[in-house]
Amino acid sequence: MNKKLNTVLFLIGAFIVSCLLIIILLVGSIIIASLIFGENLQNYTEIVSLFLILISVLGSFFIYTCLAKWFSKKVDMNKYFTPIFKRKR
């Protein structure tokens, strides 16, 4: 496999991991909110939904950033991947 194929596969994998993190955090936060609010959740649906989506997106961004830093420490990125953005001259 060459560097370009490695880069494409890495980006596809990163996209899938990011989406899975958002879904897992959203489902988990909905379960926790339903346990906390119980029957009163129907009264606050709009506010709670917005808050839970925000938490899941920001949480997945934080977790993904930590995973990317850990991965870049373990693997020499320049050796296996092509730079996505090139510097302007």
pLDDT for residue 37? 78
pLDDT tens profile 7-19: 888 889 989 999 9
**Closest to 25 in 3D by CA, of 61, 79, 76:** 61
Residue at 16 is within a domain? yes
Residue at 85 is within a domain? no
pLDDT for residue 25? 92
Structural domain boundaries enclosing 27: 3-74
Residue at 27 is within a domain? yes
pLDDT for residue 89? 67
> pTM here?
0.76
Q: Are 52 and 26 a contacting pair, CB within 8 Å? A: yes
Across the range 14-32, mean pLDDT stands at 91
Q: Are 44 and 37 a contacting pair, CB within 8 Å? A: yes
Across the range 60-89, mean pLDDT stands at 82
Residue at 24 is within a domain? yes
**Structural domain count of the chain:** 1
* 78 pLDDT more than 80: no
pLDDT for residue 66? 92
Residue at 82 is within a domain? no
Residue at 25 is within a domain? yes
Residue at 50 is within a domain? yes
Across the range 60-71, mean pLDDT stands at 90
